[in-house]
Amino acid sequence: MNSQENLKTKVAIIGGGPAGLFLSQLLHLHDIESVILERRSREYVLGRIRAGVLEQGTVDLMRRAGIGERIEHEGMIHEGVGIAFENALHHIDLMSLTGGKVVTVYGQTEITQDLYQARDSMDGMIFHEVNEVTLHQLDSAMPYVTFFKDEQSYRIDCDFVAGCDGFHGVSRKSIPQDELTEYHMSYPFGWLGILAETPPVSDEVVYASHERGFSLCSMRNSMLSRYYIQVSLEDQLKDWSDERFWGEFKTRLPAQVSDNLITGSSVEKSIAPLRAFVADNLNYGRLFLAGDAGHIVPPTGAKGLNLAASDVHYLSGALIDYYQSGQEQGLYGYSERALDRIWKSVRFSMWCTLMLHTFSEHTPFERRIQKADLQYLIDSPSAQKMFAENYIGLPY
């Protein structure tokens, strides 16, 4: 085996998903060098189908990161969302309820692609398909990271480590147990999601509650639909032919929506369990966690990717302050600042999840309360305002 190769950078970024890529790009634009270490190939990362509803803060971050051009043309502005239950569709007018704010539908895969392109054009250093990433001396002023790529061993000396490596990554696990509290909540169901090359059933994203289970209508563009249904945790992909999916999906939508449904073969299909998780805190010594490495929300409020963006906003700002003026307060206040917004988004995501899904263990009393919650949202301008304020994204 070759001897170890030694590198030096300011910020070693673990994980090349949106959190890591955004951070690297924003630091670069302020002349702060970073290196990204990603366990998977670029093709694999770009093949993952993830979320798609962006808050204005996320779109603004894209602009600041120099990747605002394509979304300008291809992003779909949504001024409202639909909430369906008991065979009726209701409209929540985000724009009028928030004084002119909207959300943009643009897939996470597209953002990741834009970020990779931007990093390439600036000669950003990204190591793909790395193994055994290990973080060292995080509680010192001289942390370093070791890893292997193609059987070559590497060491990167750095000032800081950014843990952007998702829920299963190594960064959070490198924090001593007594320095970290983890809050977990799992839901007794998952979402089966499909992507189909068909025109979307509705111009708006529709969240539908039904006694057979929740369903969601979303889209990626005018010829690509993204749909989900609530399924049991025991269900496997092989149980869900396209035909069964379409039949079930149609049953759970009000006729006003399902009458427009155009079905076709799926081009992607996956099942994900729903859970919430928060790590407190997001900082240990010279390590900072951002994105899914620090928290997961159930997808019902469309907050996962948007929270990764707000984390990166806070963390990049703190690192830029540190390098420009030696100020450390921002860095050591990062966790508290980010967690305030994270917990509020966890609350919103949990409320949406509880209101819209079918829980087999619910008593008749709980079912009536759930129905009252939905009816209150539809009837009360104040309740709609709270929904809209959260859905378009709480301020940074």
Residues that bind ligand PHB (CB under 6 A): 51-53, 205, 216, 218, 226, 299-300, 302
Min dist CB 102 to ligand APR, Å, is 19
- Is beta strand 283-284 parallel, antiparallel or unpaired with respect to 287-289? antiparallel
Q: Give alpha helix (H) positions in the chain.
A: 18-28, 42-47, 56-64, 69-74, 94-97, 108-121, 242-252, 255-258, 304-325, 329-356, 364-379, 381-391
Residue with tokens 């977990």: 184
Min dist CB 116 to ligand APR, Å, is 11
For residue 161 the two structure tokens come to: 């480590």
- Cβ neighbours around 2 below 10 Å, total: 8
Residue 45 interacts with, from ligand PHB, ligand APR, none (CB under 5-8 Å by kind): ligand APR
Min dist CB 22 to ligand APR, Å, is 8
Residue 346 interacts with, from ligand PHB, ligand APR, none (CB under 5-8 Å by kind): none
Residue 166 interacts with, from ligand PHB, ligand APR, none (CB under 5-8 Å by kind): ligand APR
Min dist CB 300 to ligand PHB, Å, is 6
Instruction: Report DSSP state, residue 122.
Output: T
Min dist CB 156 to ligand APR, Å, is 12
Min dist CB 7 to ligand PHB, Å, is 37
Displacement of CA 230 from its chain's centroid (Å): 19
Residues labelled as active-site residues? 78, 207, 299, 303, 391
At 302, give phi and psi (nearest 5°).
60, 45
The rounded distance, in Å, linking the Cα atoms of 387 and 347 is 12
Q: Which is nearer to ligand APR, 45 or 339 (CB)?
A: 45
Could you please report the per-residue DSSP string of 247-310?
HHHHHHS-HHHHTT-----EEEEEEEEEEEEEEE-SEETTEEE-GGGTEE--GGGS-HHHHHHH
Residue 37 interacts with, from ligand APR, ligand PHB, none (CB under 5-8 Å by kind): ligand APR
- Using CB under 6 A, list all residues that contact ligand APR: 14-20, 37-40, 45, 50-51, 108, 130, 133, 164-166, 168-170, 291-292, 304-305, 308
Residue 32 interacts with, from ligand PHB, ligand APR, none (CB under 5-8 Å by kind): none
Q: Which is nearer to ligand PHB, 51 or 170 (CB)?
A: 51
For residues 60 and 313, the answer to whether their CB atoms sit within 8 Å is no
Residue type at position 355: M
Q: Which is nearer to ligand APR, 37 or 59 (CB)?
A: 37
Q: Which is nearer to ligand APR, 15 or 82 (CB)?
A: 15
For residues 102 and 78, the answer to whether their CB atoms sit within 8 Å is yes
Among residues 263, 238, 291, 309, which one has the least CA distance to residue 55? 309
Q: Which is nearer to ligand PHB, 78 or 119 (CB)?
A: 78
Q: Which is nearer to ligand PHB, 156 or 305 (CB)?
A: 305
Residue 169 interacts with, from ligand APR, ligand PHB, none (CB under 5-8 Å by kind): ligand APR
